[in-house]
A and B are shown apart, each in its own frame.
Chain A
Amino acid sequence: MQLIKDGAFIADPWTHVGDEDALPGAPDAGVIVSLERWQRESNELIASGRPLGVQLKSGQDPSEIARDLEKLALVGLEFPAYRNGRAYSYASLLRQRYGFKGEVRAVGNVLRDQFLYMIRCGFDALEVTDNITPAIYAEMIGEFTHSYQTAADDRPAVMSLRQRLAAKNAAD
């Protein structure tokens, strides 16, 4: 498993911590916990002063942590199978509805042919299998120059590009 953050392959500074596991030794190490653990131990976790992340399973709607988002630096969203696309909506909601500025990380079955969709829905971090190389990532992200619709990323919709072009042509 490797991590792509904002397009760069980096060593993961975060640690996934199981529900019964002890927190890692380093007191400033960021931890990612389940929603259940977060709901059980949020006071202790906040008191620890570490960067905190919560990972939602498919079926755990981000509205469940909407009020906690300012305390979180990361939200992980699970893809239990590539076919299960719920997390695309979850990520979109985190960005568009809740204005979450922290890391939104794709975890689980993250296939290369889905990278672009994930980035467009607001994921900025992807946990990918070891066979993915920077070249593959660049190819998958670069396959389409334009998009017909707006999403959580800052790509303009083709509709707006057309208007700009028309305005430019009118001005020329």
Chain B
Amino acid sequence: MYRYDEFDHQLVRERVKQFRGQVARRLSGEITEDEFKPLRLMNGVYLQLHAYMLRIAVPYGTLSSRQLRKLAELARKYDRGYGHFTTRQNLQLNWPALKDMPNLIEELATVEMHCIQTSGNCIRNVTSDHYAGAAEGEVEDPRIICEIIRQWSTFHPEFSYLPRKFKIAVSATEHDRAAIRVHDIGIRVLKNGLGETGYEVWIGGGLGRTPIIGKKVGDFIRREDLLSYLEAALRVYNMSGRRDNMYKSRIKILVHEIGEAEMKRRVEAEFEEIRKEGRLQLPDEEVERIRRYFAAPAFETLPDQSAELDAEMAKDEDFAHWVRQNTVKHKTPGYAIVNISLKPIGGTPGDISSEQMEAVADLAEKYAFSELRAAHEQNLTFAHVRKQDLRAVYDGLSAAGLATPNIGLISDQIACPGLDYCALANARSIPLAQEISERFADLKLQHDIGRLHINISGCINACGHHHVGHIGILGVDKKGIENYQITLGGAADEIASVGDIIGPGFTDDKIVDAIETIVMTYLDIRQEGEIFLDTYRRVGLQPFKDKLYATH
């Protein structure tokens, strides 16, 4: 993975010093909250319901064992011994005190981490495929370009006061695990007919109040031109994006208002001009320097089948279950990708205790080249594990309560913090996720249901990506009472779609029954080989509506 050099270190150190000064000015009363708020937000410090929240950047979701151990320590020292992985591959601490923040981020810097641009109207942490470097059919490791974008966007003087936040995601495989079509800019790494690597660029996707699937604006941007292209797109947005209404200020609204063709024309015109200036040309040396950090680890030459693994699977049904559900084919024979579910039945999606972080860090060190990933589904991933080590990994995870075999199943839900923590929330998300997972706790039933993504957001900001859940649940406020709206048929992958609202919402005591009715209806009408989304795409809303709103 990427390691800081002296330049990176210096910048992060200087940032700590700057933020220490800003916090001191606030605590001494020298500046008011109005003046301080934008400063703290630029460093991922929010004021939530019960306390401050600190959002720590996990660039493109990659973490080392050492970093995770440090996070565990910081969560224990400055918080209540746990953290929360978000849908943007970041980690949030829920209770740190403002007065402790400078020390906290100073300690973070010792493991090459920071909170820069985890909030504010700037270019946010770049997200990517959590299987990067391990996925079959990958053009190249998407994190190479992620790191280049991370550096280019850090303290970008022109783009730190954009109309609104700006999110970029990168994927390098045909199957899109990074949800690039629902980002402000989505980048797909691909090869052209000549075998050269370049980038397809999607602009104007996003969720929130107005969910929109992005438009493909750049077909093939050459590697050396990518930063020029991004700068062009950002400049068009910075100059023309609306600033009068915060709900209309994302780039998706600009694209919608001026049209896809005009957006393309403006970006290309600006791109041509910037290219002429030549200053943003990406030098090969820098790409190669960064590529070296993402070189594949020293894989052993192994047969793809592991007799040890097969024997263990034959012996232990639970283990076999876990292998089938939570591990994925690796591009290298004899290796597997391991997903660690942060969705225990009845638990809080994405939450992890300090002890669990330490257990994961140890296992990564022993069996996964000391590296792990945060997935946008709020789970963790070991990208490279020898198949013969799966048993040991499983045992270690089981001991830490992290071996729930439910990846991709109905209990593997995405849920934002909601009204249990979030100051903007209308309704709670977590208790709903807990009840749903308990209702469908039976693993046999979950397997029978098959792949089904339930995504839950506590308000229209859509941090829980409800629009792109196969089943989406949105919390709304009905005169001080929590109410939940259901959407069906969303997806965030290469066939991205925004879910359709099924009808009137449900109160908190009716919503889980409603979800059950929808799932049971699917089980009744599905055809051979269909998952929920297939069935929905075949039959549409009506059969579900009929069942759900039938008068008894």
Contact = CB atoms under 8 A, between A and B. Distances in A.
Interface residues of B, number: 39
Interface residues of A, number: 36
A143 B14 contact: yes
A83 B158 contact: no
Contacts of A84: 161, 243
A14 interface: no
Interface stretch (A39-47, A64-72, A146-154): A146-154
A147 B159 CA distance: 14
Contacts of A162: 5, 7, 286, 289
Interface string B151-171: 111111111111000000000
Q: Interface residues of B: mostly helix, strand, loop or mixed?
A: helix
Contact of B158 (A61, A151, A159): A151
B273 A159 contact: no
Question: In this complex, which of B17, B155, B239, B273 has the most chain A Cβ atoms within 10 angstroms of its Cβ?
Answer: B239
Contacts of A83: 38, 121, 161, 243
Given A150-B279, A159-B286, A85 B7 contact: no
A23 to B, nearest CB: 31
B524 interface: no
Given A86-B238, A90-B239, A117-B160, A147 B155 contact: yes
B233 to A, nearest CB: 12
Contact of B7 (A92, A116, A158): A158
Interface in B291-347: none
Interface string A157-172: 0110111001000000
Contacts of A113: 22, 38-39
B157 A151 contact: yes
B501 interface: no
Interface in B116-171: 121, 151-162
Interface in A63-106: 82-86, 88-90, 92, 96-97
A82 B285 contact: no
Nearest to B238: A89
Interface in A100-154: 111, 113-114, 116-118, 120-121, 143-151
Contact of B18 (A92, A96, A143, A147): A143
B158 A163 contact: no
Interface string A29-59: 0000000000000000000000000000010
Contacts of B162: 85
B395 to A, nearest CB: 43
Interface string B269-286: 000010001011001011
B158 A144 contact: no
Contact of A88 (B22, B39, B155, B238): B238
Nearest to B120: A83
A158 B151 contact: yes
Given A92-B235, A145-B10, A148-B152, 5 more contacts: A82-B161, A121-B157, A151-B158, A162-B289, A163-B286
29 contacts: A84-B243, A85-B159, A85-B162, A85-B238, A89-B158, A89-B238, A90-B239, A92-B235, A111-B35, A113-B39, A114-B161, A117-B160, A120-B157, A121-B157, A121-B158, A144-B14, A145-B14, A148-B151, A148-B155, A148-B156, A149-B152, A150-B280, A151-B158, A158-B8, A159-B151, A159-B283, A162-B5, A162-B7, A163-B286
Interface of B: 5, 7-8, 10-11, 14-15, 17-18, 22, 35, 38-39, 121, 151-162, 227, 235, 238-239, 243, 273, 277, 279-280, 283, 285-286, 289
Please name the 10 residue pairs, one residue from A and one from B, whose CB atoms are nearest each other, closest first. A85-B161, A120-B157, A117-B157, A148-B151, A88-B158, A158-B7, A89-B238, A150-B279, A159-B286, A89-B239
